[in-house]
Chains A and B, each alone.
Chain A
Amino acid sequence: MSATLGDLALEVRSKNAGPFWVTMEVFLRDAEGYAIAAAAVDEQVVARLYAVDPATVRVFRIPALHVVKVSFPRPVPQGSLADRDLHAGQHHVPLASLVPGA
């Protein structure tokens, strides 16, 4: 079975960034893992994983910290009837499950 981003990471986390945005970070273990993640994660990939418009996705690559960070507007506003994750704290899972190159 191929390694996921979660397997390459120390931690993958997600959280609200205010009521209208969600942000998530992949903290890779080392430079090698960072290089794989930095190449694997882009606006199109995130848009596909989260069913959002790629034009709204922002990807930040931070080599000094071995971090890839992703932010996009919450598809469902925080606290609305359809919101099942008020703090957006479980929305890292699709990103963590990504298999680079697959």
Chain B
Amino acid sequence: MTTPPGTSTDDRNEHSVTATTPPDAVRVLVPSGMLGSGFDPAAIERGLAMGADAITVDGGSTDSGPHYLGSGTPKTTAAAVARDLRYLLRAAATARIPLIVGSCGTSGTDSGVDWVAGIAATVLREEELDLTVARVYSEQDAADLKERLNEGRISPLPPLGELDADTLESCTHVVGVMGHEPIVAALEAGADVVLAGRATDTALAAAVPLMRGMPAGPSWHAAKIVECGGQCTTNPREREVFVTVDATGFTVEPLGEATACTPTSVAAHMLYETVDPFTMREPDGWIDVTDATYTALDDRRVRVEGSRFVPAAQKTIKLEGARVAGYTTMSFTGIRDPLVLAEIDDWAAFLREVLTDRVQQTLGLEPPQYAVDLRLYGHDAVLGHLERPTAPPREVGVMLLVQAADQATATAVAKVANPLMLHLPTRGMQHLPSFAFPTSPAETERGPSYEFVLHHVVDVDDPTSMFRTVIDGSPA
């Protein structure tokens, strides 16, 4: 059975009572910035002893590139996720508090939610724990989105332009980014564990404080500060943090013993991976920390007040989508000969010229039927044209990436390049050098390469409407 979010609370009086008489404070334990990255079990125990009301942890991000969303596969390994879940599920069961995991399986696709749910089910069985698990799916159907597009309800976020239906159709996966609402609905429907698809990093830790009646400004700001675990402390290698939200603000502290929260470490976290350090959009409004104050309570705890939340007139759900850009084949060789390194930029230009000519002659292909990126690691690969001229490097790693509409074409171009990657002299050289290939075979087929193509928002009346919740024991 699919539980319609937000409609199943009428007969659950205990939640209604809780909602009308807010507690003095709500405490959230964040074990790390990413499920599967590990944490110290002793720090989790300390957090439980301090009265945690919920445990929340992020399971993903777009940060590692479009492959994970495009392919619907996780970046983390199952064993690492199982290890973390074992401690967290035990802790949730012992303390009888909710565990919330967001952006399951790295990108929050339905396959990612099911992957984490499968690992959680195994752990629950092995540990003989009886917890009710909700899966909140965030993947979107292109046909539904096309209807919303036709109704004028999808608009771009900078720097992208207007969306067209073909772009939607071309995506292998599209997810909507949920706020706290579907998570709260799942908890109110009786879930002990919420495994959410793609969610804002902040929605996870904000959900229980908001559900229990804490004010929106401190709830959201607190959630932003702890979303990356120990990143808001003086020693981010200690990952576990604890935040207490109350009627006038919040207090944040590390659970690790060799680290501290300072006004600077906490305030600085608003800068991390954000375009704008003062305001951030959630589905139902803006977090505004312009007037927030950060005060040290002692040498490891920081008190934050003055955070605001400004509700939006129009609620929106952000979309993320990725599609196959092409298939890629990689080749890599090393150059140590100073005679070549002295003219390395011209050598690379010569290689591109000869390769273009050889591919045309042998395969009958011309750009844009294939694309080549030639990178000179050790010289200017990372920053490219932003780099300043320097003396010739000691050695250079030459990476050739070929992309085409199919793998066979990409590999054919890379194979045509092989004699050049091995022997191409400089323009003035009278002999054929041989360069240092590190591997045989020289070419590595990298499969499909994906690209992010959505950065748009959908206008919604109900921020739970684009998400589907399944509570365990019920058929999907």
- Residues in chain A within 8 A of chain B (CB atoms): 15-21, 23, 25, 27, 49-51, 56, 58, 60, 62, 64-65, 67, 69, 71, 73, 77-82, 84-87, 90-91, 93-94, 97
Contact = CB atoms under 8 A, between A and B. Distances in A.
B271 A64 contact: no
Contact of B268 (A17, A27, A79): A27
B444 interface: no
A81 B268 contact: no
B375 interface: yes
B41 interface: no
A19 B62 contact: yes
Given A78-B66, A79-B66, A23 B386 contact: no
A65 B87 CA distance: 37
A49 B385 CA distance: 10
Contact of A20 (B67, B159, B381): B159
Nearest to A78: B65
B158 to A, nearest CB: 7
Contacts of B66: 19, 78-79
21 contacts: A16-B273, A17-B273, A18-B62, A19-B452, A21-B159, A51-B385, A60-B276, A62-B271, A65-B267, A67-B268, A71-B276, A77-B452, A78-B452, A79-B66, A80-B325, A81-B371, A81-B373, A82-B373, A84-B381, A94-B383, A94-B386
B274 interface: yes
A93 B383 contact: yes
A90 B267 CA distance: 23
A84 B159 CA distance: 20
Given A60-B277, A73-B158, A90-B383, A81 B325 contact: yes
B170 interface: no
Contacts of B65: 78-79, 86
A64 B375 CA distance: 41
Contacts of B62: 16, 18-19, 78
Contacts of A25: 268, 271
Contacts of A17: 273-275
A86 B63 CA distance: 8
Interface string B252-276: 0000000000001001100111111
Given A84-B382, A86-B64, 20 more contacts: A15-B273, A16-B63, A16-B273, A17-B273, A18-B275, A20-B455, A21-B275, A27-B268, A56-B159, A67-B268, A71-B276, A78-B62, A79-B451, A81-B325, A81-B326, A81-B328, A81-B401, A81-B449, A84-B381, A86-B65
Contacts of B452: 19-20, 77-79
B383 A64 contact: no
A85 B137 CA distance: 31
